[in-house]
Copies of this chain bind each other. A is one copy, B any other.
Amino acid sequence: MDIIRVSGSSRTAAVAGAIAGVFRENQRAIVQAIGASAVNQAVKAIIYATNFLAEDGIEVVFVPEFVDVEIEDKIRTAIKFTVEPRVTTSVPMTTTSLDSF
């Protein structure tokens, strides 16, 4: 699965479309940003993507973490956002009910 790399000049609508597309295909997406401006664009794109996916009835949540990435022989700290489905509490009750029979 490709990582979606966001810069400070990335268009949020385009990034949001990419996030939603990758998520629909893989049930998750990874977005990576380095620096305040890129992180801000990434968060805005994530909000738009959340809204796109909500229109399809898909609820997503995010987990951010630090990751070290090497760029032109230098180690830089990026922020990686993992977009995941919101795990629901709905349970296949029929499976357990069958025990009663």
Contact = CB atoms under 8 A, between A and B. Distances in A.
Interface string A63-101: 111100000000000010000101111010100110110
Contacts of A66: 47
Contacts of A6: none
Contacts of A46: 64
Contact of A62 (B37, B44, B63): B63
Q: In the complex, which range does the number of interface residues on chain A fall in?
A: 20 to 34
A36 to B, nearest CB: 4
Contacts of A65: 47, 50
A14 interface: no
7 contacts: A8-B36, A36-B37, A43-B79, A61-B84, A62-B63, A87-B88, A89-B89
